[in-house]
Amino acid sequence: MAMANNKRKCFTCDRENNTYTCEGCSKRFCFMDLAEHQHRLNDELNHISHGYNEFKQIINEHKQNPQNYSFIEQIDQWERISIEKIQEKAQNLREVIVKSSQTFINDIEKKFNDLNKQIQQLQKANDFNEINLNYLKNELTEITEELDSSSNISIQQNRQSFISDISIISFKKSKFNKWKQNPIIVAGGNEEGQNLNQLNSPVGMFIDKNKNIFIADRDNHRIVEWKCNAKEGQIIAGGNGEGDRIDQLYCPTDVIVDQQNYSIIIADNGNRRVIQWLNQNQQILIDDIDCYGLAMDKHGFLYVSDIVKDEVRRWKMGEYNNEGIIVAGGNGEGDQLNQLNCPDCVFVDEDQSVYVSESNNHRVMKWTKGAKEGTVAAGGNGGGRNLNQLFEPEGVFVDNLGKIYVADCDNHRITRWCEGKEEGEIVVGGNGEENELNGPVDLFLDDEGNVYVTDYSNHQIVKFEVVL
């Protein structure tokens, strides 16, 4: 009987010999190379076992010290940063509380000292009656009540976030609450005319830090400046007759002073252009625009209302060769929150929110920076003379407490509104008296709280003094 032939080529040495199959890889090896193959497998097994032991050691280390995880480290970093921010905000709020309380006490003390002086004067003069005594008692009662309700701030918490956010909400009343109802004429007031002591249908005005008044003297086609307490004005732009030459104006409606270079920027409404005058040199900034109102924010951006396109646009200083950016309206004529209807005057606050008066919608709208639509800040209940209404409003001014003052033109009054309130309050005018307003179209508050008003149909600028 023949012997079985088991000779095959070895996978390793390639020699024909008796070979044996490895069940793991199905390859055939000679006896010597099979032993070497098994030895190599043992080495690999030992290597895997060593790797396993190392990984087991790492697992044990993580179990004993889980902070080694990168996620834990990120959370630790977030915790540190959050605590620092909370501590910083808490300290800032403490400083606000202390400063607010000190200011409140100082105001009360000043009122008390003023009242004490009045009492001493009456005692010294020995000339007083029941009216004087009632006045003093009422004043003392008011001061006492104000001190008793000394908490003019509260804490507001935002619980929507995981870490409750808190902020200070101030209920401090404006110190400007009453004005003398008899106006003082500070420009014009000598009937309609073109002499230097006269105005003819003035519209927009601007008042600088020295209380010099710049006036868009519309029907005289000029801009005049009245120095503080001056008896007449001086022509600083236009005054060369109605026309469209570079040195002429045609029914200007507003004027502002660029504080950077002290140039005069004018809404030259009849010529459909915004023009700049600097030392009698003229430059057209924006052309082909039905401009009416102007404003400039603290960053030097120029805002212009367009009464035909029903929009307000903003331009960066020195970049007037483009179309500007729409910051209010621009969605056609209408009364929706994203529309305007005959936007007249413009005011821009510290946060670059834009306030626009709409004569045809009988309201003032507030557009926050970047908003796609506005909110009703005053009026918006149809034209009328109720306290929740306006009638063809024009000038608008917002004080540092967010109070909104409106030249309620066809109601011949100035009203003040608090954001979120349904009604305004009458500041001056609105009673039909002979010495009151006749078509107020613009207004301005100085640092002392006095209200300046462009009294259009009386051809004058008047001042209502604040009662402190």
Query: 206-227 burial, b for 16+ CB within 10 Å, e for fewer?
Result: bbeeebebbbbbbbbbbbbbbe
Q: Are 296 and 258 in contact (CB under 8 A)?
A: yes
**CA distances from residue 37 to 23, 40, 47, 442 in whole angstroms, order as listed:** 12, 5, 15, 101
pLDDT at 108: 81
What's residue 134's pLDDT? 76
Strands (E), 369-424: 375-379, 396-398, 404-408, 413-417
Coil, helix or strand at residue 372:
coil
Alpha helices in 6-69 (DSSP H): 31-64
Tell how many helices (H) and how many strands (E) occur in the chain: 3, 31
The pTM of the full predicted model, rounded to 2 decimals, is 0.67
> Distances from the Cα of 309 to the Cαs of 67, 198, 338, in angstroms?
63, 34, 13
Q: With the C-alpha atoms ordered 376, 378, 383, 386, is the resulting torsion angle positive or negative?
A: positive
What's the confidence (pLDDT) of residue 152? 61
pLDDT of residue 362: 97
List average pLDDT for each run of 10 residues in the chain, which is 468 residues long: 63 83 84 85 85 80 65 80 86 84 82 83 78 77 74 60 55 71 94 96 95 97 95 96 96 92 94 94 96 95 97 93 94 96 96 96 96 95 95 96 95 92 91 78 94 97 92
Rounded Cα–Cα distance for residues 9 and 309 (Å): 95
Residue 104 has a pLDDT of 80
Q: What is the pLDDT of residue 111?
A: 80
Torsion of the alpha carbons at 360, 361, 366 and 370, rounded to the nearest 10: -80
Which tokens is 197 given? Answer: 């002591």
**How many angstroms from the chain centroid is the CA of residue 195?**
40
What tokens were used for 12? 């390793």
- In Å, what is the CA distance from 121 to each residue of 86, 116, 129, 169, 389? 52, 9, 13, 40, 45
Among 412, 302, 409, which Cα is nearest to 362's? 409
Whether 376 and 341 have beta carbons less than 8 Å apart is answered as no
According to DSSP, the residues that pair with 278 across neighbouring strands are 281
